[in-house]
């Protein structure tokens, strides 16, 4: 996912995508451990997606806190 795609998502959609990506990362790590993973770069890609989702969620929290203060 690109950062621009993530910025267009609603808060609930970000939470859903984050949950999906964490599950996907777990499955990829399991495949790596059992020797069934074809492309190890997928793990890096999913980790970066998780970081992007966390970054956007935190940016929205900070923006909401600023508007309340």
Q: Tell me the two tokens of residue 31.
A: 């495949």
pLDDT at residue 43 in the model: 97
Total domains, the chain? 1
**Could you give the dihedral angle defined by the CA atoms of residues 21, 22, 24 and 28, in that order, rounded to the nearest 10 degrees?**
130
Q: Categorize the per-residue pLDDT at 69 as very low, low, confident or very high, splitting at 50, 70 and 90.
A: confident
Q: Is 15 helix (H, G, I), strand (E, B) or coil?
A: helix
In CATH, what number is assigned to the domain containing residue 39?
Answer: 1.10.287.310
Domain that holds residue 8: 3-68
Closest CA to 63 of 12, 11, 19, 6: 11
Q: What does the pLDDT average to over 3-7? A: 91
pLDDT in tens, 17-35: 999 999 999 999 999 999 9
Prediction pTM value: 0.91
**Cβ neighbours of residue 19 closer than 8 Å, sequence gap 6 or more:** none
């Amino acid at each position: 996912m690109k950062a621009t795609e993530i910025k267009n998502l609603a808060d609930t959609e970000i939470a859903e995508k984050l949950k999906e990506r964490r599950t996907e990362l777990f499955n990829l790590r399991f495949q790596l451990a059992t020797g069934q993973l074809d492309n190890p770069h997928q793990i890096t890609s999913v980790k970066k997606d998780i970081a992007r989702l966390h970054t956007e969620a935190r940016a929205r929290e900070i923006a909401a806190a600023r508007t309340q203060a």
